[in-house]
Amino acid sequence: MVRGKVAKPSLPWPEFVDSWPDQYKQLLLDPPDEQEVLAEDWKAVKGEKDEAPHVVPRLSPKDLREFVEGVIANRYFLSAQIRESEGALIKNIFMPLALGALSSWSKEELLNIGIIYEEYSSRTQASRSINGYPIFFSCRLMHKDDWAKADAAIRKALKAQRDVLVELEDRETEIG
């Protein structure tokens, strides 16, 4: 649906509409006719892909650091925490996947996903679980390059925590 530049109507124009993007203003002024709506719906039914590629968002260094801190503090559930033998449960754990959230993605686009994760929260998490795993109503994707950096940082931080605990145990045995 290609349309021209938006012109203000002769009717009163509410002030809040001025902040709307042009495509929304155009829909208000010239709504699509039934044939246009049917054509768009039919494309969706036939499974025709959008022309725009799907992109896994990249994290800023600040966001990556906050993610690593969150994982260490156990604020996130990661798809990497699912046992290999139960990998098929990923669609039951992250509900958007069961509902086809990535079904229109190409194989190349899917290969850019490093990990799927979500925050433990009453907003995002169901009150039930499946095989001991939480169930989430939403999920986030992390780019494979960001996940490689995060994974290395998480492993390093967890190793440092274990080393501290071992050192404390050694001190206790020396004292006791």
108 and 157 within one domain: yes
29 or 2, higher pLDDT: 29
Most distant pair of Cα atoms in the chain: their distance: 88
For 130, the domain range is 61-175
Q: Tell me the pLDDT tens digit for each residue of 66-100.
A: 999 999 999 999 999 999 999 999 999 999 999 99
Average pLDDT on 108-117 reads 95
pLDDT at 1 over 50: no
163 and 79 within one domain: yes
157 or 52, higher pLDDT: 157
135 and 71 within one domain: yes
Q: How many structural domains compose the chain?
A: 2
Confidence of residue 173 (pLDDT cuts 50, 70, 90): confident
Do the domain assignments include residue 55? Answer: no
40 and 67 within one domain: no
